[in-house]
Amino acid sequence: MQFVDASIVPRDIRVEGFELWFQPVYNFSDGTVQHNEVLLRWRDSKGKLFRPRDFMPWVTQANLRLSLDKLVIRMACRQLAAMPRVRLSINLSAESVGHAGFSQFIFDELQQANIDPASVQFEIAEPHAARNLSHTIHFVRDLREIGCAVVLDNFANDYLTYMQWERLEVDQVKLNGRLLSQHLSQKDRLHLLRSIADASNQMGQIAVAKSLDEAIGARWSHHHQFDSGQGYQFKRPSQQISLASKVDVLGLALDNWSKTEFIEQLHEGIVFAPNVNHLMNIRRDSDYRKAYTIADYKICNSQVLYFASQFLGEPLQEKITAAELLPLFCTYHQNNPDYSLFILSEGESAPLIQAKVNRQAGRPFVIDTYQPSSYFDCNEVECQAIVHHINRSQANVLVLGIRSPVQEKWVYRYRDRLPQVKLILALGEAVLVEAGLEARPPEVVSDMGVEWLFRLLQHPQQLWRRYLINDAPFLLLLIKHKLFQ
C-alpha cells in the first residue's frame, strides 16, 4: 500500500521487481466486470512500491519501453493461463505500436501459452495511434486478425479526427479521464463528451468512461450512453483480479458477492461496510466521500440496502453484515498462521474480542489491541502512537471497531503508514456485538430490515437524530431514483 517519492527511485531497476496490478472496468447495464486493465508497479528490494510515473522516466531513458511491454505481455499470459475465464486489457507504448513484427510477437506468446486471443485486448493511446496513423491501422488489423480486441485509449479528439478514429476500426474507445475530471457544467466539454458517446455507438464500438472517482461522473456517463466505467468510484487498482459485479444503490457501488465467495477470496485490501447512514453521510460530507474511494470492497451491511437493490432492479446476492464478517473471517483462517490480527476498537470491546477469537482459534490469532480515547482522531500524537503500536505488533490484518465516519477517515489518512498491514476491516460499532457488549437483534428483525428500529429502541438518545433526521430522506431518494431511472 505504501508508495514513495520518485526522487529516490534507484537507477538499477530490477526486472524481478515489476508487478502486475489490476483495475476492473464495469458494464453500466448490469454491473458485471467487462475486463481488468493491467497496470504496472515496481517494488524495490526493501518493499517500497513505485508507480509508473516514478520509474518510467528511467525506463524511457534506458530505451527499454519495448522490452518492458514484452515483459508485461508474458506476465499477463502467465496470469491468464492460471485464470482462463479472466479478460485482461494491456497498454502498449508508442515503441511497441510502431515496431515492425510486434503483432507477430503477440501471436507467438499467445500460442506458446495456449491463451485464447479473445481473453486479451490491447490499448493504444490516442497520441501513439496518431504518430504513424497508416502503420497503426495495419497494426490494429493484425491484432484483430489474431483474435484480440483493440481499444483506443485516452481519446479526447486532440490528435485524431473522428474520421481517423473511424479508420482505425477499433473495438472500444476509452474517454480521456481529464474530460470528466473537469467541470461537467462547461457546455463545450459536455458537447464533446456526448459526441464521443454518439460516435462510438454509430461505429458499433464500446464507449468506456475512465477515471470515474465520484458518483456524479459515473451517473452522468451512464445517462449519456457510455457503456462502461472505470475508476475509484468502483474499485481502485490492486494486485487481485476483480471478478465480482457491482450494484449501484444511489451512487454507492456495492460488491455483489455471496458470503462464501467473499471470504474465500479475501486476502488483502480495505473493506468498508456501508449502511444507509453511511450512504447519506457520503452524499453530504466530501471528506467522507473521498475516504470511501480507497475501499477495495464495499459490502452490503444493511438489509435496507439489500431491499433497495431489489427495488432498483439490480438485486444483490445477499447482505454481508459487519457483525458477521469478523467471525466468518476468523473461522475461515483460524488454522492459517499467515494471518495475525490487531484490534483497534473503542471502549472495552478490544480485549474481549481478543480473548474470544483466540479461545476459539486455539492460538494467538489476535496478537495485540488498542483502545483509543474518545476523540483520538483529533489528536495527532495519539494517532501516531496508534500507527507505531500497530507496526510494532507485526500484525497484517487490522480490524477497526470505531464509529463512522471517524474510522473510514482515519484509514484514509494513515493507511500508507502501515506497511505490514495487507488487510483492513473497518467494521464500526458492529464489533460490540461480537464482544458481547451489544445485543444481537433477532434474525426475524434483521430479515425484515428493521434492525435500525431495534437499535433505536436500545439507544434512543444517541440514535434518534441518525435514524429519524439524517437517514429519513433515503426512502424519498430511492423512489425518486426509481422514477427517473
Q: How many Cβ atoms are within 10 Å of 165's Cβ, its own excluded?
A: 23
Residue listed under C-alpha cell 486489457: 89
* Cis ω for the linkage preceding 405 (within 30 of 0): yes
Please report the pLDDT score of residue 29 as a whole number: 85
Please report the pLDDT score of residue 1 as a whole number: 42
Please report the pLDDT score of residue 2 as a whole number: 44
Which residues pair with residue 20 across a beta bridge?
40
Ramachandran sector of residue 157 (left: φ over 0; alpha: ψ -120 to 50; beta: rest): left
Please report the pLDDT score of residue 351 as a whole number: 92
Which residues pair with residue 343 across a beta bridge?
369, 399
Please report the pLDDT score of residue 174 as a whole number: 95
Nearest Cα residue to 337 out of 262, 394, 297, 296: 394
Q: Which residues contact 335 (CB under 8 A, 6 or more apart)?
A: 361
Residue listed under C-alpha cell 459490502: 299
Decide if 309 contacts 315 (C-beta within 8 A).
Answer: yes
Which residues pair with residue 55 across a beta bridge?
none
Residue type, 200: S
Which run of H or E residues covers position 376? none
Euclidean distance between CA atoms 481 and 464, whole angstroms: 26
SS3 274: coil
Decide if 209 contacts 234 (C-beta within 8 A).
Answer: no
Q: Which residues contact 145 (CB under 8 A, 6 or more apart)?
A: none
Query: Which residues of the chain are modeled with pLDDT < 50?
Result: 1-10
Q: Name the DSSP class of 470.
A: I
Q: What are phi and psi of 351, to 5 degrees?
A: -65, -30
Please report the pLDDT score of residue 80 as a whole number: 97
Please report the pLDDT score of residue 179 as a whole number: 80
Which residues pair with residue 18 across a beta bridge?
42
Quote helix, strand, coil % in the chain, to nearest 5: 50, 20, 30
Residue listed under C-alpha cell 483502545: 371
Euclidean distance between CA atoms 311 and 249, whole angstroms: 10
Euclidean distance between CA atoms 231 and 290, whole angstroms: 13
- Quickly list H helices, 28-122: 52-61, 65-82, 94-97, 102-113
Regarding beta strands 120-125 and 88-92, do their DSSP bridges make them parallel or antiparallel, or are they unpaired?
A: parallel
